[in-house]
Structure 1
Amino acid sequence: MSKQTLPTPAQEAPAENQGNVVVSRGGTTNQNTWRNIGLIIGREYNNRVKQRSFIIGTIVILVLVIIASFVPTIFQVITAKTSSQTKIVIVNNAGPIAGLDGAALTKYIATGLNGATAGQSTNGQSPFAISTAPTGSGATEQQQMKNGHLDILLVIDRQASQDVHFTYYTSSGSLTDTTQTQIQALAGQLSLLDKASRLGLTPTQTSSLFAQPAFTVVNTKQNQDTRSVSDIVASYVIAYAGIILIFMSVFIYGMGVAMGVAEEKGNRIMELLVNAATPFQLMVGKIIGIGAAGLTQMAAFVFVGIIMLLLQNPLKAVLLGNTSGAFSINITGTSITLLILLLVYFILGFLLYATLFAAMGALVKRQDEVQNAIQPVTWLFMVGYIVSFIGISNPNATWIRVISYIPFWTPTTMLMRIGSGSVAGWEIALTIALMIVAIAICTFISARIYRFGVLMYGQKPGLRQLIKVVRTQ
């Protein structure tokens, strides 16, 4: 069995055999085809992952992923350390309000303000510190506000109509004072309770005034989202992180395919390679080898990202001592399914675009021409990337669904739709099947262009000539 070698890109002449890959010439045609493709895959993969730029780039991005994962926790720690309670003093000149006075009234107000947020503060304290001042006072408290020792003074009086009147003193200059809104709502409740008490309503009758009405929501949309909030947040985070990752990986490694072909043409190494393997074997081996390198890098990013997400709650427990109000993302069955689909769409998306990048790379004479040659493919991919961010506002729109079925835009738009929980299982299966068909068609077309272009060093062919090549090669 005779053997021939595939030279590495660093070789300048066939006599230099360091780093060569042995390609078999014996055996059956099918055996040689797959053996040669396997050897080319190994060559491309090893050359890629051993590059200093690959190693440094991977380390830098992993560090950025780790830093980015700590940002929410860092903000929460800073907020917890710098936040303080809002100090409120109540002066009740109105006497009993709905039978509440003194400590009972203070407790009612404290429960109304702190009850909705109890246990949610990351520093373990209630948002409002409430105290009372003697009846008829107020001047001293207003001076305390000017000195910055008090935030809010609430004075309660009775009008001639016996209705209660609330005067709200604040040292805040904000036009959007949420505390004022909360206290105003609580004052409305107290006023209503006081009127009900003066009208002779029993406590049961008064409580019925605040009872929530029966309210049933019937969603007629099929496949409605029944996931928990944590599942929804996790799905969106994974989906959009995946979209960005797919965009970067397909673009970077797709360009790597085109640049690799152009480099081998420029160094005349291609003339040696086509004597050791067919252009189809070279193209498929290069695509899969570089794609495997990209998948390795992507797997590292995803693995570290998941580990960082899982460490968030333990880290917050150590730094804050309380995670009940902390934002967290739970890795559940839903998000694991999304991660699997992310992997599937990444592989299919890369294979689809890499065939186009390889064909474009085969049509140029030098590496500096690659950027212009791949622009049509780049813009084609950009459409799906942009739509995936526009479509978040209405993922069920007809035009979004139609675009997600088009294989060139499926990887990004389908991840967006899956993250929103608006995709049926048959749609996922259909888009995967359509992408496989598209990959087969593009591989067939690109292989013919590649076969024509790898040894072409003259003028770049036009569209009409390329169509003729595809039909006749």
Structure 2
Amino acid sequence: MNKFWIIFWHTYMSKLKTKSFLITTGITLLLIFGLTNLQNVIEFFNGGDEETTKVAVMNQTGDENVYTLFEQNASAIDDKLQLKKSKETEEQLKKDVLAEDLKGYLILTNDEDGLPQAAYHASSIANSSVSGTLEQALQQTKVAIGTANLGINSEQLNQLFSPAELKKIALEENAKSEEELNQARGLVYVLLFIIYFSVILYASMIAMEVAVEKSSRVMEILISSVSPIKQMFAKLLGIGLLSLTQFGLIILVGYSSIKGNIENLAAMGDGFLNFSEVPVATLVYAVVFFILGYFIFATLAAFLGSLVSRIEDVQQMIAPLTFIIAGAFVIAMFGLGNPEAPFITVTSFIPIFSPMIMFLRVGMLSVPAWEIGLSIGILVITIILLAVIGAKVYKGGVLMYGKSSSFKDVKKALQMSKDQ
């Protein structure tokens, strides 16, 4: 058993110290920190709160009230947008824009019905924030003038344009409210990405680890002192601990950053990124299904990796495994919009899909405890069966050399394991 732990800690520490792991982890943590502080980052690059955007307005409507109303609407939408009524020629305004003294200039006119219209000129129209504000202010001005011409007052107008309220009430006792569903959808979306990329990354890492040792003939030395089965599970657990280390760092940094920016995130996406009231059980299930998903795919990756002798053959051998993981992810993305679909319910019990799909259902719905238990039970039994078969394939596969990229070699590996 001592040799098992030697391989276990060697696998963990050697991968933990690699530049690829450190760089990948560092970049991931920086991305998480940057995304959760996106509002602060935008404000930093915009130069702070003091910066204003200057736009000149040529009022050619013949009515000063039109410009006044337009300016009031624009200021209400964006107080950093500074409108300046100008009597300069269009040629002079064009020079000011190109000299960057102005962001742009707007020509305000009337259409054939006597309602305001405008043309916005800028050195570049790639940035839609200013033009979007001007367009919105122009629309409000047009509606106000048009309704005034029709004899409709502002109170009647507000009643007409106020959004219709549709209350969504779930009749089931434990059903989630709309706000809870919004929060759960955001969390499940984020964690599905983490599970997807982590499983692909670590499954490939295990297969690559085995192939590297075989290509360097280190495996022949290891087999003489440690059984292939111990090697396989030592590598699975070693890289599994590595994944939990990285996963833990991501959760720690992500939680700390989200907690410090909870108001900004709550405002984004209408609560989609507000994780302040997510049940602890959802986070627990995320860890459980992450671990189970890791083991079911890692076991497959280990014995597939044992069938190849060259590093360049690894990706070809585990390609079907990658397609399965991608398929589960696509199904999960579909399920975010309709988690109660029969197709989602059925696939949540299929072992290769359930780590993502059942977790999706648990996060979005009130799933009966027996369904969760059944899914986990099927997963555990499948992992055990794969481990038994995988150990036999691994035992024979590590002794196979030469070009190998066919699943027919599984049968050959099983035969070789019986002969030992």
Q: Which residue type is aligned with residue 87 of structure 1?
A: V
Relative distance call for 1:94 and 1:288 in structure 2 (3 A) is closer
Q: Which residue type is aligned with residue 295 of structure 1?
A: L
How far off its partner does 1:304 sit?
3.4
Relative distance call for 1:453 and 1:204 in structure 2 (3 A) is closer
Q: Which residue type is aligned with residue 298 of structure 1?
A: F
Match of residue 179, structure 2, among 213, 217, 227? 227
How far off its partner does 1:270 sit?
0.9
Q: Distance in 1 between matches of 2:114 and 2:403?
A: 90
Q: Which residue type is aligned with residue 324 of structure 2?
A: V
Match of residue 348, structure 1, among 268, 292, 296? 292
Relative distance call for 1:191 and 1:444 in structure 2 (3 A) is same
What are the within-5 Å matches in structure 2 for residues 323-362 of structure 1? 329-334=273-278, 337-362=281-306
Q: Which residue type is aligned with residue 186 of structure 1?
A: Q
Q: Distance in 2 between matches of 1:62 and 1:435?
A: 28
What are the within-5 Å matches in structure 2 for residues 138-157 of structure 1? 139-140=87-88, 142=90, 145-146=93-94, 147-148=96-97, 149=102, 151-155=105-109
Q: Which residue type is aligned with residue 431 of structure 1?
A: S
Q: Which residue type is aligned with residue 166 of structure 1?
A: P
Q: Distance in 2 between matches of 1:459 and 1:164?
A: 80
Aligned residue pairs, count: 392
Contact 2:347 2:357 in 1 (8 A): yes
2:253 is matched with: 304
Q: Secondary structure at the match of 1:152?
A: strand
- The answer to whether residue 41 in structure 2 is matched with residue 74 in structure 1 is yes
- CA offsets 1:193-239 (integer angstroms, 9 cap, x no match): 32244xxx6x5874566353654255889867723666644442333
Q: Distance in 1 between matches of 2:108 and 2:381?
A: 71
Relative distance call for 1:423 and 1:465 in structure 2 (3 A) is farther
Q: Which residue type is aligned with residue 287 of structure 1?
A: L
- CA offsets 1:93-139 (integer angstroms, 9 cap, x no match): 347xxxxx59xx83x54453343x46xxxxxxx1433466xxxxx75
1:85 is matched with: 53
Q: Distance in 1 between matches of 2:90 and 2:34?
A: 42
Q: Secondary structure at the match of 1:171?
A: strand
Q: Distance in 1 between matches of 2:212 and 2:319?
A: 14
2:220 is matched with: 267
Contact 1:265 1:455 in 2 (8 A): no
Unaligned runs of 5+ in 2: none
How far off its partner does 1:436 sit?
0.7
Q: Which residue type is aligned with residue 227 of structure 1?
A: E
- The two structures have a TM-score, normalised by structure 2, of 0.71
- The answer to whether residue 14 in structure 2 is matched with residue 51 in structure 1 is yes
Q: Distance in 2 between matches of 1:182 and 1:260?
A: 64
More helix by share: 2
Q: Distance in 1 between matches of 2:279 and 2:214?
A: 38
Q: Distance in 1 between matches of 2:90 and 2:403?
A: 86
1:293 is matched with: 242
Contact 1:88 1:154 in 2 (8 A): no
1:212 is matched with: 162
Contact 2:109 2:116 in 1 (8 A): yes
- The answer to whether residue 195 in structure 2 is matched with residue 242 in structure 1 is yes
Contact 2:302 2:390 in 1 (8 A): yes
Q: Secondary structure at the match of 2:82?
A: strand
Q: Distance in 2 between matches of 1:127 and 1:393?
A: 40
Determine which structure has more spread, i.e. the larger CA radius of gyration: 1
- CA offsets 1:215-269 (integer angstroms, 9 cap, x no match): 4255889867723666644442333133212321232134435655776774333
Q: Which residue type is aligned with residue 300 of structure 2?
A: L
Aligned Cα root-mean-square deviation (Å) = 4.7
Q: Which residue type is aligned with residue 191 of structure 1?
A: I
1:385 is matched with: 326
Q: Distance in 1 between matches of 2:136 and 2:401?
A: 75
How far off its partner does 1:438 sit?
0.6
Relative distance call for 1:83 and 1:394 in structure 2 (3 A) is farther
Q: Distance in 2 between matches of 1:380 and 1:423?
A: 31
Q: Which residue type is aligned with residue 385 of structure 2?
A: I
- The two structures have a TM-score, normalised by structure 1, of 0.64
Q: Secondary structure at the match of 1:151?
A: strand
Q: Which residue type is aligned with residue 189 of structure 2?
A: Y
Q: Which residue type is aligned with residue 410 of structure 1?
A: S
Q: Which residue type is aligned with residue 70 of structure 1?
A: G
- CA offsets 1:63-90 (integer angstroms, 9 cap, x no match): 2134323363434422355974253547
